[in-house]
Structure formats: C-alpha cells, structure tokens
A and B are shown apart, each in its own frame.
Chain A
Amino acid sequence: MRRAPIWLLLLLGLALAPIASHARARAQVRVFVRTPYLELHTGPGRGYPVFDVVPRGQSVLILFRRTQWLKVLTRRGVEGWASERDMMRTVLADGSPLDLRIGTRAGYMSHRFEAGAFAGVYGGASLISGYASLSFNSQLALEVSVGQFFGRYSNGVTADIGLTHVIAPQWRLSPFLMLGTGLVHTSPKATLVQPSNRTEQTAYVGGGLRFYLTRSCFLRAEYKTHMVFTKLNRNQVEDEWKLGLAVFF
C-alpha cells in the first residue's frame, strides 16, 4: 500500500499529459459548403438531432475529427458535428475537394503500417499476442510479433520476426504466407521436477487469412508452425493458431 501514491502520481501524469498536448494550437482548416446546405448535429453520432444548417457558399472551420464526425465552427459562432460523408462534399478555399483520408479498401490493399492483437492457442496453451508490421509494397511486409502463453504446466513469452507475403492484396478476404524466426522463453510451473526457465530459438512457417471489415480495421486469422531448437536431442514442434483484430495506417 505504501507504493500506491507513486502509482497514483504516475496515473495522474498519464491522464494529464494529453491535456497539455490538447492545449497546443494547431493550424485549422476552413472549408466552403457546395451542397445546398450542411447539417450540424448535436453530437458525434448518427442519432443526434440536426440543430443547425450552414447554407451553400458559407464556410466552416474544422476544429477536429472523431471517428466519422468532424466538429466545426460556423461564421456565426455555432459549434456542431458534421458527418464525414457530408464534409467530403465541401471544398477548400482553392476549390479543391476536402480529402479526409479515411481508411478504405484501397488503403487496405496498400498501406505502410499495421498493428493488431490476437487471442489463440500456442502448443495447447492459451495465447494472447500482438503484432506490428511495416509493408515494403502491397504484398511483402516485415512483421514483428510478441505473445504470452499460459499453459497447464508452463507459461512463457514468444517473440517472432519474419516476412509476410499477401498473395492477392486486392481481395477482401485475402490469404497470406509467413516465414521467420524467433525466440521462446518458457517458465515451467514450480511444482514440476525441472523448474528452470529456458530460452530457445525458433523458426516458423505459416499462413493465414485477413478480411477487411470497415475503415482501417480488418480481421486476421493465422496459423504458424514453430520449430523450437531445443538443447535436447530432438527438436520440438509447436503449433500456433490465433484470431484477432488489426488496423492499418
């Protein structure tokens, strides 16, 4: 209990840090309404009522954006939420349409970074893991993943690095193959005869499927077979199955 105040301070610090960044001024964007009118809602959701409209030709200042909604300020000083779909029909001062860069199928096909989290099974043990990847092009990516597994007789962590090859990135449900190497650190439960922790190198090959959901979000299911290079006479093979959610940037 003595350490609680330090934790509390840390939590408060974490909570306050974004407020400081929030206060920083940013360049704001002014757009002009080109449709007959722009509807302003009271909240960032489809159910919130429309309480004001901005007529064609007038401008609004975009304050910030949250999911599919943009908070705007009108010339008359009214603040409201406009949908992304409506805002994409507005134009900038130079007449060019406002590009909101939302996650689309095109982005799903070809993007730079992705990250996600999984739940699954590793060699019979429950597994949770996360990954991040850097794409060289729409097909090939360098991927790093870490995981933690919880077994009946041992717990452990895994870390992998390898290449992933998406066979047909243009498909909504697209298969991919993986090849790489990694480490596995196993800590057997203390009740067993050999309670010593061990770290071993692994190599893996695998495949999976990814399915585009919406915006920048997709489902990913994968299977990896790990060859664990043990210090014993024979190597060990561990299978890994997992399902998760990922986002691309």
Chain B
Amino acid sequence: METRARRVLLIAAALLSLPGCASVQRWRTHRAEVREARAEARREAAQSAGSDSEMPPPVIRPEVVRRHARAPRIKSSNFEIGAHFGVLSIEDFGSHPTYGVDLAYHVTEDFFLRAELGRATAGRTSFETLGGNIQLLTEGERKFTYYDFGVGYNFLPGEAFLGSRHAMTSSFYLLTGVGATQFGGDKKFTVNVGAGYQVLPLDWLTVRLGVEDHIFQTDLLGASKLTNNLEAFLGTTVFF
C-alpha cells in the first residue's frame, strides 16, 4: 500500500514536472526569437542608414539620441562578518575560554540571519578531579565545537552617546537557531537561543556583548539529559 502511494506520488511528480521542462524548451526558443528580432532590428537600422541619401528628407527628422542609461549599482552593506571571544560554561565540565566566527545577513532593519562557528576546550569534571587518575574523555574529545544558524531580531534600537560629540546607533537583539555540537566523541543536534546588545561606533563596525545558550541532549555521563551550555562573549563584526 505504501509502495503504491509512493509510486503514485512519483508519477505525479514526473507528470507535473513536464510543463516545467516544456517551458525550459520555450525559454530556449524564446532566446532564439530575441536574437532574431535583434538581428532584424540591426539590419533595418543599417538599411535605413544606407538608404538615407536616396530617400526624400522627412518633414521632421527626429534628432533624439537615445541614451542607454545603465541602472547604477549601489553598494549594499547587508552582510556582517566577525569574531567573538568569551567564556563557555560546558555543563559538568567547567567554564572555559571560547572563540568563534560569525556571519550575518540583514534581511530588514529588524530581522537578520546569522551563522556561527565556535570552539572551546572542556576541562575535567569534578568526578575526574576527585577520583585521581580517572579520565572520562581523551584530549581530542574535550574539544567542544559548535556551529549553528538562525534568525535574529533587533529590538529597542537607539543611540548611545560618547560625550557630547559622538553618537553611535545601538540595539538589543534576540537570536534563536539550530545547529550541531561536536563534543565527547559525538555530534549532537543543538538548539541555541541568545540575546545581546550591540553598538556601531562606525557605520561598518559593530561591537556586541552577548549571551547564548547551546542546548542539547547528551548521555555522556550515563543518563540522558538536556544540557545547557551558556556562553558570554564580546564580539566585533564588520559590515560589507
């Protein structure tokens, strides 16, 4: 039954794709038509230029020089790239320095998409410290590497003032996303939520202070549990 349903779906998809293929065909012929039309226009233009002397002069000779104005390209600066440094508290493994890179694309003044990649190295659990010579993880497995992408929302936009002469635009932001975390010899699906405050000392430079929680399910220490791995960081990005 399931197979039949799948077969029907497959046939339906194939049949419905045919009009698309047909329009691709049309697209090719359309290109050819455009080329022909252009060639004809050129021929006519050449003919009328050549036959100018033979023809009687028209009553009104249009002397309009058609300008081919190209639409100007305006530089957009909606992408942001940068780095952040901070502290990551890896649940059961202590707090450790972390660093990472970010890339963001601003869709509107309110919403942006952000991807980030970061790393920290976990320390020893209290069990390992107290137990003497016990090692739960190898050195390689202690590397906590995460990546995620998500949506951010800028709220409470405003201006921050430095003395009486300098004003910087600023805003708070909320961020949520999904990603993966490699830790303890396993990769885990990770949900991250964060918030922060950012100022733009220059039009292309941002400085932000943020917190982010990387949440994932792990059974590293026996029982399966949801871990919260909080990160506090200072980051800087440049717009391009």
B19: nearest residue on chain A (CB-CB)?
Answer: A139
**Are B74 and A100 touching (Cβ within 8 A)?**
yes
Contact count band on B: 35 or more
In the bound complex, what is the Cα–Cα distance between A217 and B151 (angstroms)? 12
In the bound complex, what is the Cα–Cα distance between A68 and B37 (angstroms)? 38
**Are A126 and B189 touching (Cβ within 8 A)?**
yes
A196 close to B (CB within 8 Å) = no
In the bound complex, what is the Cα–Cα distance between A224 and B74 (angstroms)? 40
Chain A positions 217 through 235: 1 when the CB is less than 8 Å from some CB of chain B, otherwise 0: 1000000010000000000
A38 close to B (CB within 8 Å) = no
Stretch of B48-56, B86-94, B99-107, B226-234 contacting A (4+ beta carbons < 8 Å): B99-107
- Most A CB within 10 A of own CB, among B106, B169, B203: B203
Please tell me which one of the listed residues B17, B67, B121, B188 contacts residue A177 in the complex, with CB atoms under 8 A apart: B17
A148: nearest residue on chain B (CB-CB)?
Answer: B180
A157 CB to nearest chain B CB (Å): 10
Please indicate the chain A residues that have their CB under 8 angstroms from the CB of B24 in the complex.
136-137, 140
**Are B6 and A245 touching (Cβ within 8 A)?**
no
**Are A128 and B236 touching (Cβ within 8 A)?**
no
Please indicate the chain A residues that have their CB under 8 angstroms from the CB of B179 in the complex.
128
B82 close to A (CB within 8 Å) = yes
In the bound complex, what is the Cα–Cα distance between A17 and B75 (angstroms)? 17
**Are A94 and B74 touching (Cβ within 8 A)?**
no
Q: Name B's A-contacting residues (CB within 8 A).
A: 2, 6, 9-10, 12-14, 16-17, 19-21, 23-24, 26-27, 67, 69, 71-78, 81-83, 99-101, 105-109, 111, 113, 119, 121, 149, 151, 157-159, 167, 169, 171, 178-180, 185-189, 203-204, 236-240
Q: Which 4 pairs show the lowest CB-CB distances between chains A and B?
A: A140-B20, A126-B189, A18-B240, A150-B189
16 A-B pairs in the complex with CB atoms less than 8 angstroms apart: A11-B100, A14-B81, A15-B82, A18-B239, A64-B75, A65-B76, A92-B69, A130-B149, A136-B20, A139-B23, A148-B187, A177-B17, A189-B186, A205-B13, A214-B107, A237-B2
